[in-house]
Structure 1
């Protein structure tokens, strides 16, 4: 569009409108109907193009329409929304959404991912580290398409764990929100060590055999069922590294790893044959003959210490069968026996020198 140059009577000066000047006796510019209607149609074209119905009562429609059109071309635009409680997000609030759940558990609901919304982006980011549960919820039958290797349709919600945890989601206009990026993409269920007792953001929990609700962690329950290492609570003793079915209806339990060494599963190599994934294995017993009593034995029978030979006698007490005379059990955890030739035998369990780090597991 342009100034109404085709209507000379309007009084344009240098091609632009001017005000009336009574002193100079010059009239102001007139706005012809054809030009006014043209301007109105131009504006209405933008409003309707943005998916809005024209309304005389709304003076912000042009801006809303422009934002909607930009959103269709570039689904992410510069909007920052700050929340401190549960809320259903509006279309205008989509952008960077900063959420503080320090005052209590909160649920943030996304707009419907329908044709009217089209392709839109949102980044949801947690700013507090309170530990309160923070849920990002899709509405109705919409789904968030993450961990589709476990469930092809995705899940109705996700959780943000720890300050700084964030997900970048994109709607497809057909009922789904798709992850574009997130703070941490470490695979679900992976155990690892940390150098802090704090839980890092990004979806981590302690590797401590926690009992969880299936309804609150549906993707983790699906992972447990498909893992090949799901057991029952009744058979958990000796299989603490497995998932369990919890109460069989509403709960399940994660693996326990505290205080344990982790070993690579044999999987057919026959180095550690017969092992079941997640099963416990006791320490190995080592026996040493130190010489007959009175003929070079170190110390006196039944009370020798192996500390000088590198044994850590703080191991738990262990009765060693299969050696003659049975042998007494000392609180230090070292067994001493004599065989038929009065040879002094030392039996103890050993472990390599090590450093203890907290164990963690990826929960989402």
Structure 2
């Protein structure tokens, strides 16, 4: 048994996840009813990731900032700039795609159990309230804005602490990171449950009526991942961007696709940053920050679904309004939660630009829920993989400048 585990662990994690996907699909197709209990494997895996991620972020950020030496350079300004620019580009590309390939929705379903924000001021108010929340409450509820705020404040306060205290913090950080490695090694088993549940409960039947919309959404996200983002990376680094792009998509995007949560994928991204030999002081902050504000995929979802609603109702969207939608989708996407389906709640806000009533916008949310097994998976894969992509891009750009 020990040799079997050793052999299994020698296989790359991505290959093991692919095996898990295949097994999950086969089991769901062969016996979806009798093997229904298998779905708990996915639930347990995602729960474990979500449980360890807040503690990991809190400890790593404190350790990184408290051990930061005066004069030591980080790339946070560049990374933040990349996050903001890429999210705006995502909103712009999505608006263009929605205008070139308009989608018609079948507005029949309702979504009564969701409470979207009433305006952009409420989005900003929620952000401010999350930042100033109680630290214990932030950890309990995986409020990453609150966790980041308190971790940064404690990290700065502990910069004057003794070396012994900093060593304890560093050791605690290493211990939590070790636990994260154990959880990530269970990913292939968890993916079996996630895939089984998706195929057995949703299948493909519910998606057929929205094939065109799904193609536009996924096509736009692929264009961003394989064309727009590589161009951004090349401009910054002046090197072939695709090896890095494909690495982040393979090792971060695949797990994010199935967990459908940027927050749950934080430990995976931390591990990938370590594998890429990135600066720990930087990625300990940039990865959880990216899971909170780097929401290019959310900007795509908000723009395309709101414009699909406008097209369905025969509402003409002029160029100034389309530009305003680009800005609104990018800004509001940063306020989307880092959990499953967070971007859907912001669709009524975008629809209000076109005078679309709330009851219709709620039906658009319901459509988003129907196609969520594809839409939200692709959105999260794009969001989470670019957290690592842009963190690495900023470091490579810095190294390029220093080499001159």
Same fold (TM over 0.5): no
Could you say which TM-score interval applies, normalised by the shorter chain?
under 0.3
Of structures 1 and 2, the one with the larger relative CO (CA 8 A, separation 6+) is 2
Bigger Cα Rg = 1
Flag the structure with higher strand content. 1
User: Higher helix proportion, which one?
Assistant: 2
**What is the TM-score when the length of structure 2 is the normalising length?**
0.18
